[in-house]
Amino acid sequence: MRATVRPDRETRRRGFTLIELLIVVGIIGILVGILIPVFQGAMQKSKQKSTMVDIGNIAKAISSYMTDMGGAPPSPAGNLELDSEMYAELTPFHLARFPNRDQWGSVFQCWTGRDCAGHFGIEAGEVGPEDFLIQSLGRDQQDEGYAFDPADPNNSFYVMQTMDDFNKDLIMWSGNWIRAPLHSSTR
């Protein structure tokens, strides 16, 4: 005769209880709640840095053009569109890939020569024919209304503390930042 052994309760149990599943789901929810803001901050920081690199590349192309041609390229007087005279003058010799939009999708704002006057608190007596301005409107795609104060250039820079700081404009005047983050500690 064959003996049958009945498994005891512990060896029959193979699944998780409802409470164990709820605890695991709760832990996953907490981790997601912590990681999403960190991920969003990292994405915005990446967009900001890429935009700053693009502005720097445009500035180098304008400087190269001025060296070759003896003056600034024609001013788009605002939107730096791909059909602007500046685009035609800078590509492909001075800038192979022409980024006309920031990483948030806004068209860069650009002025050259005397057209720089009147923007960001810069007066006509402060600009010459070889000056240029390049602006990104930031994440919110709105002009911040920033005014540069040459007497206090450190006021141009801001510390990244919150996600709202990505809304601030990025502005370069003739190859120098007049509105940009000082350093980044956004979480």
Beta-bridge mates of residue 110: 78, 134
Q: How far apart are CA 48 and CA 139, in angstroms?
A: 8
pLDDT grade for 186, boundaries at 50, 70 and 90: very low
Q: How far apart are CA 30 and CA 1, in angstroms?
A: 57
**Residue-level pLDDT at 60:** 92
Q: What is the mean pLDDT of residues 173-179?
A: 90
- Residue 57 CA: distances (Å) to CA of 33, 98, 159, 170, 181: 37, 9, 23, 14, 18
- Selection from 135, 140, 128, 136 nearest residue 165 by Cα: 140
Give me the domains of the chain, ranges plus CATH numbers.
16-184 (3.30.700.10)
pLDDT tens for 128-170 read 888 899 999 998 988 888 888 888 878 888 888 888 889 898 9
- Chain-centroid distance of CA 68 in Å reads 30
Say if residue 127's pLDDT is above 60. yes
pLDDT grade for 13, boundaries at 50, 70 and 90: low
pLDDT tens for 35-53 read 887 788 888 898 999 999 9
pLDDT grade for 55, boundaries at 50, 70 and 90: very high
